[in-house]
């Protein structure tokens, strides 16, 4: 099993719809999780951290399910500007461990 797995998509979603995607991770002892956004030919940028209790930032909600070892990202009322690749990121078990990125899920918001 790969360390971090994501459905590559693409997800083609009409503007205004709600879309959600998951990311699974293999190391049950992983401590912290993030979602990054990457626009075409640009560098990744932090979208949000994923806390154990779940967290919400405007139209974006991130959740962690430790029992099933996955994190999720939900986007409500999607905008054209949400079109991007969403990267799942898992921090290591120990403080000095490397940070692992998933391959990303491509999202296309359709007008």
Partner 1 sequence: GAGVSQTPSNKVTEKGKYVELRCDPISGHTALYWYRQSLGQGPEFLIYFQGTGAADDSGLPNDRFFAVRPEGSVSTLKIQRTERGDSAVYLCASSSGPGDPFNSPLHFGNGTRLTVT
**Where does this chain bind partner 1 (CB under 8 A)?**
6, 8, 31-32, 34, 36, 42-46, 49, 51, 87, 89, 91, 95-104
Phi, psi of 66 (to 5 degrees): -70, -35
Of 5 and 69, CB closest to partner 1: 5
Tell me how far, at minimum, the Cβ of 77 lies from partner 1, in Å: 25
Of 62 and 109, CB closest to partner 1: 62
Compute the distance between CA of residue 65 and CA of residue 82 in angstroms, rounded to an integer. Answer: 24
Tell me how far, at minimum, the Cβ of 28 lies from partner 1, in Å: 17
In this structure, the dihedral spanned by the alpha carbons of residues 48, 26, 64 and 7, taken in order and rounded to 10 degrees, is 70
Note whether 70 and 23 are within 8 A (CB): yes
Tell me how far, at minimum, the Cβ of 55 lies from partner 1, in Å: 10
């Amino acid at each position: 099993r790969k360390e971090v797995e994501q459905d590559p998509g693409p997800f083609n979603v009409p503007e205004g719809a709600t879309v959600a995607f998951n990311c699974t991770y293999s190391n049950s002892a992983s401590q912290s999780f993030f979602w990054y956004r990457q626009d075409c030919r640009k560098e990744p940028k932090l979208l949000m951290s994923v806390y154990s209790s779940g967290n919400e930032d405007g139209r974006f909600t991130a959740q962690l399910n430790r029992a099933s070892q996955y994190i999720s990202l939900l986007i409500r009322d999607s905008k054209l500007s949400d079109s991007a690749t969403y990267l799942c990121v898992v921090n290591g078990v120990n403080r000095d461990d490397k940070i692992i990125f998933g391959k990303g899920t491509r999202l296309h918001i359709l007008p």
